[in-house]
Structure 1
Amino acid sequence: MTATPLEGKVAIVTGSGQGLGLAYAQTLARYGAAVVINDVNQETADAAVESITSQGGKAVAVVAPVGDTEAATALVQGAVEAFGHLDILVNNAGVLRDKSLLKMTDEDFDVVIKVHLRGTFTCSREAYRYFKENGVAGRIIAIGSPTGQYGNFGQTNYAAAKAGIVGMIRTFALEMKKAGVTANAVIPVAATAMTKTVPFFQKAVEADERGEAMPAFFRHELGFGTAEDVAGLITWLASDDAADVSGQAIGAGGDRLQLFSHPTPLVTEYREGGWTYEALAEQAKGLFEGNWQTVGEMIPELPADMRPEQR
């Protein structure tokens, strides 16, 4: 392979046996990185490795369920044993247990938090430990979601995990700055096994499966595209070109790129002596009028020719 921006780099991508994670791993490899594939299924992981090595890339598999420290340690050790060092961690592993609040069990909540949130914590901690002890100006990238930014019906567990990941990334950026390690969150909007089942995205997913370009409405207005549309941002953040980018939450999908802000106050009012119940009852609604925040992502209506077929 010719020299590329990631030549000589080694990356771990959790949850990379298929879907978005596999696209990230394949793109990192195409740009020169040796990649550690991670999945809970050996056959899936082996197939992912083959998809990279058959194209001249370098990859190995570490089969482990992300969440506990033991899995994080195995991933870092696997990278070092196979390729000699570690430079990049992409925290992508995740599961879904979607249910409305009263139907969501403790187990539904805990498993999503463990894989997404705790997994990002344990893997980032082990990667950073390696970076710091070995003087590596490493890259940590974690995957967020629009649900973590806006909320979504039936996803209490997932929303909490994804919002928490962005909070951790902001903190990692502060703690890792002195060591030269960057930490960023990527918020993808792309065709996945999950979005295949959503009628709203039917026309876009069908076009992608046929090998055709998705309709412009999806790529532009919705920022919805393919896994490869997100993989470019992952690869850039992993490169030396992004050495001064840290603590950011960046959205990617279709033709759209977004930089998310911190939550910031929209209205600030002062009242001498503080805000009693009586003062709030008299003034609060008037102060907040016109500034109430929406919940859930505001998605424009599909054009008539883009609407799902009635079956």
Structure 2
Amino acid sequence: MPLAPTPGPAPTVDLTGKVAIVTGSGRGLGLAYATALAAAGAAVVVNDLDAEVAEKAAAGIVAAGGRAVAEAVAVGTAEAADRLVERAVSAFGRLDVLVTNAGILRDRVLWKMTDEDFDAVVDTHLRGTFTCARAAAVRMREQGDGGRLILVGSPAGQRGNFGQTNYAAAKAGVAAMARTWSMELAKAGITVNTVVPVAATAMTETIPAFAPYVAAMRDGAPLPDFLRKGEGFGTVEDCAALVPFLASDAAADVTGQCVGIGGDRLALWSHPEEIATAYADGGWTPETLAAAWHTSVGRVPQTVGIPAPRLPEA
């Protein structure tokens, strides 16, 4: 059952004086995150592989009254991560927030996926998150007054997705790193959370069930409630509010969580846990496992994959 927010005045989310890096923020979700952080008062380092795209995005934030600079570099290496942190410090004097949004896709089914397909996606999503988070954590611990690591995951990393061995594995790793780092960095006052967004992007708008609604949205029509609420599917701007919240003092006690957002829906994803157990005196044999599986722990197997959209009946 959906939970209603507790009535009462909303706390102010003010990031004045804070400095953030958002990787892969030249367009799409990354740009929405960077724009929302700037609107809340943070200075932002906009990152993109394409220098022209990064500069344009940063200029747009500045034109709207925010503070932003661009740094064009492909995330993945330690050198790239160090460049981003150095850019934040040289431009704005410190670093308080890191959002690891940069990513690419190389979708193939397992038997057609090449080493290059796999490595490119894992290097950007998983290694890129690791190297950027490490560099940011070093700087934040040196500063001594806490910080925020906001990692970007995906429903594919939570449940798997057909044709996305590389992407799903990397995003599952991102969620695992967030849980680990939330423990390691707690004493330093650094929170670590994973955002699991669902929005109309270049990837999701190719889903046949969503395509006509996304096309209508591009022409100015609102998305219907069955998408915004039922599927938690909306615009990139719908996902953006979560990032300044997690970056703020209002979320100082939120760490180690995977938080979903999209359309009108906000959700907390569960951590993996044992959901059924059985015991055999003296331990299990292949034969006793075979005899017990379907009547004990395997009686209700877990589902896999991102659920298909539930469209209204014509």
TM-score, normalised to structure 2, is 0.94
Distance in 1 (CA, whole Å) between partners of 2:198 and 2:13 is 27
Q: Percent identity?
A: 57
Does residue 24 of structure 2 align to residue 15 of structure 1?
A: yes
Q: Distance in 2 between matches of 1:296 and 1:192?
A: 19
Q: Is the 8 A contact 1:266 1:291 kept in 2?
A: no
Report matched runs for 1:39-188 at 5 Å. Answer: 39-188=48-197
In 1, the alpha carbon distance for the partners of 2:219 and 2:44 equals 29
Gap regions ≥5 residues in structure 2: 1-11
Q: Which string of whole-angstrom CA distances, capped at 9 and with x for unpartnered residues, describes residues 164-220 of structure 1? A: 000000000000000000000000000101122221111331232123321111001
Instruction: Go from structure 1 to structure 2 and tell me whether the alpha carbon gap of 1:210 and 1:226 turns closer, same or farther (over 3 Å shift).
Output: same
Aligned to 1:234: 243
Moved more, 282-291 or 240-249: 282-291
| Aligned counterparts of 2:75 and 2:114: Cα–Cα separation in 1 | 21
Worse-superposed segment, 162-171 or 294-303: 294-303
**How far apart, CA to CA, are the structure 2 residues paired with 1:8 and 1:57?**
12
- The answer as to whether partners of 2:209 and 2:309 remain within 8 angstroms in 1 is no
Q: Distance in 2 between matches of 1:143 and 1:178?
A: 23
Q: Which moved more, 1:203-212 or 1:111-120?
A: 203-212
Q: Does 1:301 align with 2:301?
A: no
Shift of 1:123: 0.3
The verdict on how the C-alpha distance between 1:97 and 1:281 changes in structure 2, with shifts beyond 3 A counting, is same
CA distance in 1, matches of 2:147, 2:310: 42
Q: Distance in 1 between matches of 2:309 and 2:67?
A: 42
SS at match of 1:288: coil
Q: Equivalents in 1 of 2:24, 2:218: separation in Å? A: 22
Q: Secondary structure of the residue that 1:76 maps to in structure 2?
A: helix
Deviation by residue 1:14-42 (Cα, 9 ceiling, x = unmatched): 00000100010011111111100000111
Q: Distance in 2 between matches of 1:201 and 1:215?
A: 11
8 Å contact kept, 1:208–1:226: no
Check the 8 A contact 2:46/2:69 in 1, yes or no. yes
Q: Which amino acid aligns with 1:187?
A: V
Amino acid at match of 1:66: V
- Structure 2 contact 228–265 (Cα < 8 Å) conserved: yes
Provide the aligned C-alpha RMSD in A: 1.2
- Specify the alignment match of 2:213 in structure 1: 204
3-state DSSP class of the match of 2:46? strand
Asked if the contact 1:4/1:32 (under 8 Å) is kept, the reply is no
- Which whole-Å CA distance do the structure 2 matches of 1:289 and 1:55 have between them? 56
Residue 270, structure 1, aligned to residue 279, structure 2: yes
Contact 1:222 1:299 in 2 (8 A): no
Letter matched to residue 91 of structure 2: A
> Which deviates more, 177-186 or 259-268?
259-268
**Equivalent AA in structure 2 for residue 144 of structure 1:** G
User: How far apart are the structure 1 equivalents of 2:290 and 2:241?
Assistant: 51
Q: Which amino acid aligns with 2:77?
A: D
SS of corresponding position for 1:24: helix
Partners of 2:63 and 2:89 lie apart in 1 by 22
Unaligned runs of 5+ in 1: 306-311
Count of equivalent residues: 303
* Structure 1 contact 29–35 (Cα < 8 Å) conserved: yes
